[in-house]
Amino acid sequence: MADVTFTVDGKKLTAPAGTLLIEACRKAGIEIPSFCYYPGLSLQAACRMCLVRMAKVPKLQTACTTAVAEGQEFITNSPEIEQARKAMTELLLGNHPLDCPVCDAGGECELQDMTFKYGAGETFYAEAKNHREEQQWSPAVFYDRPRCILCYRCIRVCGEGMDVWALGIENRGSRSVIAPNQGNRLDCEQCGMCIDICPVGALTSGTYRYKTRPWEMHHVTTVCTHCADGCKVTLGLRQVDGAAEIIRSDNRDKSGMNNDFLCAKGRFGFDFAGSEQRLSMPLVRNAAGKLEPATWEDALRVAATRLTEIRGARGGSAIGVIGSNRTTNEENYLLQKFARTVLNTNNIDHERTTDYAAFARALAGQKGKTAGLRDVAFAPAVLLIGGNPTDEHPLLAWALRTDARLSKARLYVANASPIKLERQAKATLRVAAGGYKDLPAQLEKGESDFAKAVLAEESLVVVFGEEFRGADVANLVAWGLKRGNVTFAYLGDHSNSRGAADMGLLPDLLPGYVPLGQPAGFSEYEGLPTAPGKDLRQMLDAAGKGELGALLVMGANPVAKRGLDPAALKNTFVVALDIFLTETAEFADVVFPAASLYEKSGTVTNAFGDVQLVRKGADRAGVKSDFEILVRLAGEMGANIKALVPFGKTAVMGDLGQSRGVQSGEADRHAVWLAANGLEPRLSPFDPFAAFDEIVRLVPGYDLDRLNLLSGNDVRAEIGAAPGSALSTTDAIAPAHDGLFTSGTLGRYSKALKDIQEHQERELLESAAD
């Protein structure tokens, strides 16, 4: 739209015609107060806080609904406007309970701020306030009507934003109340968006209410540990007994890819971290066959001794390593390097939730062909194939809905069964069961209306998931690459599934999907075994046959996931690193208590290849990060720690390859690289950023925009950076398909998620009985 010029308080402003005055003013630094106006939601003009004087108009006008036009003149700052704002806050406070001292929102309440800025310090109301009892709508959401100012933000974010429409309004006038869809209970996605968006303390969170005062917490912004979308969350932390405990998780810092959004898991599912069931001491199996608490020294010694023995006696190929979908990139990188260079084995894998290796191969040599979450969120057209993002990728679903709603993006949904996102779709295609693989050919033919519409798009983001594996991924990608202007997003399941694959937790591929046979930069690894290792299933099979001497499991639970008979592990020496005594850890010989994602630093990569910084927030006595445990274990095994983790000062020129690098006579490449990039070496072997530096240096596709990453922004990793390679099995893939309230093994330790799940099941039963 063409720009127009108008005047606000004598200042000339310019904005595209049709911009809302309130937005134009805010951009120009002129503050217009509002309660009901919320960017991205429908207009209300209900709170009347934004009244301004417009020249030649008899009545005051609402800035939130006035579209600017050429030559208009406004006054936003005058005794008349001041009085209007003051009167509005006075009126609101009349019935407001003013229970700020015990209100969760006290200190972070828009009504308090507004009263402080524009309101009056006195009240002339002598009457009793209207009272209503507080209601609990679900384990997650409580409603306190007297505090509610009826701005309708909650109703709108639930309906327009979430497409759930679980909130409404009942009664009329001053008896109006916000009402949930099941009488006095809420049957919904329990995302808690209504709580976040409430400007006051009317909607409060079941997990946080009455726990603390906002200013008693400190806040750390990090990444959610649950699904593969990677929402930025802000943890509210409190010091308790020398440890930092998480008491709230929300989205007050709206700078992430998730903008306003957070789902139930991100908002309420953090409590596993504070669970009583957390491991806090290493455990070692004693002579009687029972796990008993041990010191770190003992546990490390037992593990190191046995691993060294087995490696010595039967070779590295007798040892298997299983990594995690939730540990950081640095930990994953370190794990595979530890496996390959210390344990001398390529028997390394993780619970693959999708076939990223196939995706990498399909895109080999291509740049800029993957779509980040932000790209999806602003794409003019998206083809969504399979899956159900509403349940499994809540942020993706939010992004697609918002894109369709606010930017009129065209969404095409091809699915074997109906999904909720079809409501936003411009066209839908019902795919026959098992028919996904034929889709590229079908689209190319352009016979159906669906295919025609898709082909007519100038650019397209194709979002798909584990329904495509191996050759099917290649086919689909090839179709898109041929069309041009098509980018892809390939969905995995957990917070760092993509990172696990990218970091080479694969038996036949090095980090960045580099083939073992052409190790390129990784040739500097000391003693890298060249033969491909066993994948996860093969390792477990081998263990069952008594052919695997040792198995190291870091943050994974194959026993539960694969329904394994624990007896299968009885002849294998098992070392587990975990935060809980999982079904797998229960049968380990040594168990190390690990830190959760909220208790450490590093980076994670979401399903879309967006890399984000993980910041240490909580602190838990007795645990160590997986990173530190691995380094200590390697040390205990007598490995060269400096070769494993590049830390400490090394004389760049003086070191002629004795300490690093296989080709003697060569300078320390890492040190050279650091110097060339103007970076300081890391001082501690436990600093994950030492591994991060090496990742950036060595892993194709991870030459990340460091400055942006470290300042808290998401940056892109490229998956197709390495040349292609032949790959082993794709049948080791076992998607998790976690829903809105489940999160693998981890989710089972969240009381909040359990309660919500039970609540929802009850709602379902009752509504089915209706």
Partner 1 sequence: MPRLVSHPDEVKIISRRFGQGAEKIDRYIELGGYESVKKCLAQTPDWIINEMKASNLRGRGGAGFSTGMKWSFVPKQSAKPKYVLVNGDESEPGTCKDHLIFLHDPHSVIEGTIIAGLAIGAKLGFIYLRGEYRYLLRIVEKAVADAYERGFLGKGIFGTQADFDIITQTGAGAYEVGEESALMESLEGKRGIPRIKPPFPAVVGLYGGPTIINNAETIATVPHIFAMGAEAYSAVGTPRNGGTRLFCLSGHVERPGVYELPMGYNLKKMIYEVGGGIRGGRKLKAVVPGGSSTPVLLPEEIENLGMDFDQVGKAGSMLGSGGVVVIDDQTCIVEFALRTISFYQHESCGWCIPCREGTDWLKKSLKRFHAGFGTASDIDNIRYLAENMLGRTFCPLGDAAAMPTAAFVKKFRKEFEDHLDGKPCPYAKEGVPQLTVV
Partner 2 sequence: MSPKNMKEEPLTIFSPQLSARFDALVQKYPVKRSALIPMLLYAQDEVGYLSDAVVADVARRIGITELDVRSVASYYSMLRFKPAGKYNIQVCTNICCMLRGGYELFDRFREELGVEHKGITPDGLFSLEEVECIGACSWAPAIQVNYDFHDELDPDRVPGILDSYRSQAKAEGEAHA
Interface residues with partner 1 (CB under 8 A)?
A: 43-49, 51, 58-60, 65, 83-84, 87-88, 90-92, 94-95, 124-127, 130, 149-150, 169, 171-176
Contacts of 507 (CB under 8 A, 6+ apart): 346, 347, 348, 349, 532, 533, 534, 535, 538, 728
Q: Decide: is 181 part of the binding site for partner 2 (CB under 8 A).
A: yes
Q: Decide: is 674 part of the binding site for ligand SF4 (CB under 6 A).
A: no
Minimum Å gap between C-beta 144 and ligand SF4 is: 9
Closer to ligand SF4 by CB, 267 or 350: give it.
Answer: 267
Q: What does the block give as tokens for 433?
A: 């069961």
Q: Decide: is 187 part of the binding site for partner 2 (CB under 8 A).
A: yes
Q: Which amino acid appears at position 107 of this protein? A: G
The alpha carbon of 389 is separated from its chain's Cα centroid by a whole number of angstroms, namely 14
Q: Decide: is 153 part of the binding site for ligand SF4 (CB under 6 A).
A: yes
Segment contacting ligand SF4 (CB under 6 A): 98-106, 143-151, 427-435, 704-712?
Answer: 143-151
Site for partner 2 in 707-766 (CB under 8 A): 740, 760, 763-764
Q: Count residues near ligand SF4 (CB under 6 A).
A: 14
Q: Which does 130 bind (CB under 5 to 8 A by kind): partner 1, partner 2, ligand SF4, none?
A: partner 1
**Distance of alpha carbon 583 from alpha carbon 309, whole angstroms:** 26
Kindly state the greatest CA–CA separation across the chain: 93
Query: What size, in residues, is the chain?
Result: 770
- Cβ neighbours, 10 Å, residue 487: 20
Q: What does the block give as tokens for 111?
A: 């009504």
In the 3-class helix/strand/coil scheme, how is 155-189 assigned residue by residue? HHHHHHHCCCCCEEEECCHHHCEEEECECCECCCC
DSSP secondary structure code for residue 420 in this structure: G
Minimum Å gap between C-beta 92 and ligand SF4 is: 10
Q: Please state, in angstroms and as integers, the Cα–Cα distance from residue 664 to each residue in 226, 228, 419, following that order.
A: 44, 42, 59
Q: Decide: is 768 part of the binding site for partner 2 (CB under 8 A).
A: yes
Q: Which of 103, 191, 203, 360 binds ligand SF4 (CB under 6 A)?
A: 203
Q: Which of 17, 57, 169, 662 binds partner 2 (CB under 8 A)?
A: 169
Closest CA to 700 of 725, 678, 663: 725
**Distance of alpha carbon 652 from alpha carbon 217, whole angstroms:** 45
**Distance of alpha carbon 673 from alpha carbon 393, whole angstroms:** 38
Q: Which does 51 bind (CB under 5 to 8 A by kind): ligand SF4, partner 2, partner 1, none?
A: partner 1
Minimum Å gap between C-beta 172 and ligand SF4 is: 15
Site for partner 2 in 417-436 (CB under 8 A): 420
Q: Decide: is 148 part of the binding site for ligand SF4 (CB under 6 A).
A: yes
Q: Which of 15, 21, 140, 154 binds ligand SF4 (CB under 6 A)?
A: 154
Q: Which does 179 bind (CB under 5 to 8 A by kind): partner 2, ligand SF4, partner 1, none?
A: partner 2
Q: Decide: is 160 part of the binding site for partner 2 (CB under 8 A).
A: no
Q: Which of 25, 50, 105, 149 binds ligand SF4 (CB under 6 A)?
A: 149
Q: Which does 768 bind (CB under 5 to 8 A by kind): partner 2, partner 1, ligand SF4, none?
A: partner 2
Q: Is the Cα torsion angle 147, 152, 158, 161 positive or negative in sign?
A: negative
Segment contacting partner 2 (CB under 8 A): 40-48, 123-131, 183-191, 467-475?
Answer: 183-191
Q: Decide: is 202 part of the binding site for ligand SF4 (CB under 6 A).
A: yes
Closest CA to 90 of 100, 82, 99: 82
Q: Decide: is 770 part of the binding site for partner 2 (CB under 8 A).
A: yes
Q: Mark 164-193 with x for binding to ligand SF4 (rule: CB under 6 A) and - for no binding.
A: --------------x---------------
Q: Which does 390 bind (CB under 5 to 8 A by kind): ligand SF4, partner 2, partner 1, none?
A: partner 2
Q: Which does 189 bind (CB under 5 to 8 A by kind): ligand SF4, partner 2, partner 1, none?
A: partner 2
Minimum Å gap between C-beta 107 and partner 2 is: 33
Bridge partners of 350, per DSSP, are 323
Q: How many CA atoms within 13 Å lie on the side-chain side of 258?
A: 29
Instruction: Specify whether the CB–CB gap between 138 and 190 falls below 8 A.
Output: yes
Q: Please state, in angstroms and as integers, the Cα–Cα distance from residue 704 to each residue in 324, 605, 690, 714, 718, following that order.
A: 22, 12, 15, 10, 9
- Cβ neighbours, 10 Å, residue 286: 10
Question: Under the rule (CB under 6 A), what is the footprint of ligand SF4?
Answer: 148-154, 178, 197-200, 202-203
Given the rule CB under 8 A, which residues bind partner 2?
164-172, 179-181, 187-189, 390-391, 420, 740, 760, 763-764, 767-768, 770
